[in-house]
Amino acid sequence: AQTVTQSQPEMSVQEAETVTLSCTYDTSESNYYLFWYKQPPSRQMILVIRQEAYKQQNATENRFSVNFQKAAKSFSLKISDSQLGDTAMYFCAFTLSNFGNEKLTFGTGTRLTIIP
């Protein structure tokens, strides 16, 4: 079974600073997909970024980037130039399939607060 671990229950950072959220996972598979989801107080789950395990290049989406270390089974999220709207719960998630028939396994989440 796959597991996802987020070791930082809460983090806070000043607006405009950079913050890194940690995630580790455990799997015996070689092909899989990793995600970071954001859940603001509205509780809507929003996909922030996605990484395919077979790609060596780290994914980036504007101010969001990941540091994917496959051998270490580590998948951290870096948020640059943080904004007040980044305040939310962030969940790391894992799935095996690219065909829409596999569940997501979530970490326990990191509550991120951006301080004005």
Interacting residues with another protein (CB under 8 A): 33, 35, 42-45, 47, 50, 91, 95, 98, 100-109
Q: State which amino acid sits at residue 49.
A: I
Q: How far is the CB of 30 from another protein (least distance, A)?
A: 18
Q: Which is nearer to another protein, 33 or 64 (CB)?
A: 33
Of residues 50 and 70, the one with the C-beta less far from another protein: 50
Closest approach, Cβ 109 to another protein, in A, equals 5
From the CB of 55, what's the least distance to another protein, in Å?
13
Distance between CA atoms of residues 77 and 8, nearest Å: 12
Nearest distance from C-beta of residue 63 to another protein, angstroms: 19
Query: In the complex with another protein, which residue's Cβ is closer, 44 or 57?
Result: 44
Give the C-alpha separation, 116 to 16, whole Å. Answer: 9
